[in-house]
Amino acid sequence: MKKLFELNPGLDRKALANRFAQCSRVQIRDFLTHETAKELQTILLHATKWGMVVQAGDDVKDKPQSWRMEEMRSTDGARKVNQAASAAHKASANGQYAFRFAQYPILTAIQEDWEPDGVHPLILEHINADPFMGLVRDVTGIPELAKADGQASLFAPNHYLGKHIDSHVAEGWRVAYVLNLSREDWHPDWGGYLLFLNEDGDVVEGFKPRFNSLNLFTVPQSHQVSYVPPFAPIGRLAITGWLRDR
């Protein structure tokens, strides 16, 4: 059986910790062994039942709407997804918070027993195991990090994630993570960059969705995922979530 999740033993934790301490964010390249990164990429490409999540507006009532793959395949489900996407585009045009991307919510799938024999629970189990959690504690300098949630995400053409800060401190969110598993030849013109912004809206740093890289950054922190244009291939793949202290 192929290995599913094995950290690169050559990572320089001290250098990564110094970089994180300076900027409250870091991209760790070649995070996993190449073999296991390719295995995870294959799972996302060929063994993930992608649904959709959309938000249109930043009012309290404007909560994310999500659909499972099975729901999207019905005529009514497809109509609702398209309506939500149009509403998200309108909200973005008016300068409000909005997003649209494909997802597979791993933690929810586990809690609701979507696929009892699926492989995704094993991925989240590895993310919560000592090798991964120990590394992120070392790099972030936050020993209180206790657990992680997770979802698989796919930014296909016309998908994006608007500017926001992830201010869920009361829920224990301390550090966001993005394990990038996009194709190895990802081109800058294809978008999907993780961008960090200052108070004036200027981009102060951007991370390419580089295959087999792990992004870590403290929250709250202003950021977004840039728009993936219609000519981009499918797609910007990742496993994402938040590292919590409770």
20-59 pLDDT, tens digit per residue, is 999 999 999 999 999 999 999 999 999 999 999 999 998 7
184-236 pLDDT, tens digit per residue, is 999 999 999 999 999 999 999 999 999 999 999 999 999 999 999 999 999 89
The average pLDDT across 98-109 equals 97
Is the CB of residue 56 less than 8 Å from the CB of residue 100? no
Average predicted confidence (pLDDT) for the chain: 95
| Integer Cα distance of 156 and 53 in angstroms | 12
Type of residue at 91: A
For residue 211, tell me if it sits in a domain.
yes
The average pLDDT across 107-123 equals 96
Number of domains in the chain: 1
Backbone φ/ψ region at 151: left (φ over 0), alpha (ψ -120 to 50), beta: beta
For residue 81, tell me if it sits in a domain.
no
Its domain, for residue 125, covers 13-48+106-244
- Percent residues over pLDDT 90 in the chain: 93
pLDDT of residue 61: 73
Query: What 3-state class would DSSP assign to 80?
Result: helix
Query: Per the structure block, which two tokens stand in for 104?
Result: 């597979």
pTM of structure: 0.96
For residue 60, tell me if it sits in a domain.
no
Q: Give which of 106, 178, 122, 174 is closest to 146, Cα–Cα.
A: 174
CATH code, domain carrying 123: 2.60.120.620
- Percent residues over pLDDT 70 in the chain: 98
| Integer Cα distance of 188 and 165 in angstroms | 24
For residue 136, tell me if it sits in a domain.
yes
Query: Per the structure block, which two tokens stand in for 16?
Result: 């990564």
For residue 113, tell me if it sits in a domain.
yes
